[in-house]
Chain A
Amino acid sequence: MKILVTNEDLCVACYLCEEVCSHAWFKQVNRSKSSIRITALGNAEIGMAVCSQCGECIDVCPTGAISRDKIGVVRIDKKLCVGCLSCVGFCPTLTMYYHDDYVEPFKCISCGICAKECPAGALSIETVEDAPVTVTERRK
């Protein structure tokens, strides 16, 4: 499956990725609408939080709105989503995001735009082994 891989050692906390992400998907430069979050943690450490496509949210969704696409990326079908935000609460890495301008939450879908723009080469799209099959996927 295709995932966005982060390299904390290379990141310079310029936040450009957050700006291009929110602009690409919400037509605004607004870091609170970005699906990647950069945090300066102190001691020159940087946190880079983005969805790992683990798929745990697939089993938590009450409407079956969350599923994997052909390249293994976990996607939300906004037509089915009822905005309960269970996936936000149950994301192991807290990388399912929401903003009160929208009913549905949002997440990284491995589009790669931020990786292209990153000036420090700290982001890349890679193909990795598929995550374990969820109960929901097995049931289908």
Chain B
Amino acid sequence: MIRVNDRWDIPWHEGMTVGDVLAACGFTHHYVAVSINGKLVPPVPHASGGPVPHASGGPAQHTQPVADGDHIQVIHIIGGG
């Protein structure tokens, strides 16, 4: 069982990834910061608008694996109204 945001329980399966957890929760927002047991999942590296790339700070890697019993925090980065 995976516990998400200390509120929802999701059944775990072999080979489950962060992406699978997000899909199971219906979390479709493109920009989430994810922690597994308190440790931040590294962001997807990306290039900026021009030829000067920068390495840090993007949405979390969806390919990161999750283990049974993990506590996952999915923080939606959204400014809102």
User: By DSSP majority rule, is chain A's interface helix, strand, loop, or mixed?
Assistant: loop
Chain A, residues 76-101, CB within 8 Å of chain B (1/0): the string is 00000000000000011110000000
Bound complex: CA of A87 vs CA of B49, how far in Å? 14
Nearest CB in chain B to that of A92: its residue: B50
Min CB distance B64 to A, Å, is 32
Contacts of A92 in B (CB 8 A): 49-52
Report the count of interface residues on A (CB-CB < 8 A): 4
Bound complex: CA of A94 vs CA of B51, how far in Å? 10
Contacts of A91 in B (CB 8 A): 50
Query: In the complex, which residues 35-77 of chain B have their Cβ closer than 8 Å to any Cβ of chain A?
Result: 49-52
Contacts of A94 in B (CB 8 A): 52
Bound complex: CA of A91 vs CA of B51, how far in Å? 10
Interface centre among B49, B50, B52 (most CB of A within 10 A): B50
Bound complex: CA of A93 vs CA of B50, how far in Å? 7
Bound complex: CA of A25 vs CA of B58, how far in Å? 41
Bound complex: CA of A40 vs CA of B49, how far in Å? 25
Query: In the complex, which residues 12-38 of chain A have their Cβ closer than 8 Å to any Cβ of chain B?
Result: none
Query: In the complex, which residues 88-123 of chain A have their Cβ closer than 8 Å to any Cβ of chain B?
Result: 91-94
Bound complex: CA of A137 vs CA of B51, how far in Å? 24
Min CB distance A116 to B, Å, is 28
Nearest CB in chain A to that of B50: its residue: A92
Min CB distance A11 to B, Å, is 19
Q: List 9 A-B contacts (CB under 8 A).
A: A91-B50, A92-B49, A92-B50, A92-B51, A92-B52, A93-B50, A93-B51, A93-B52, A94-B52
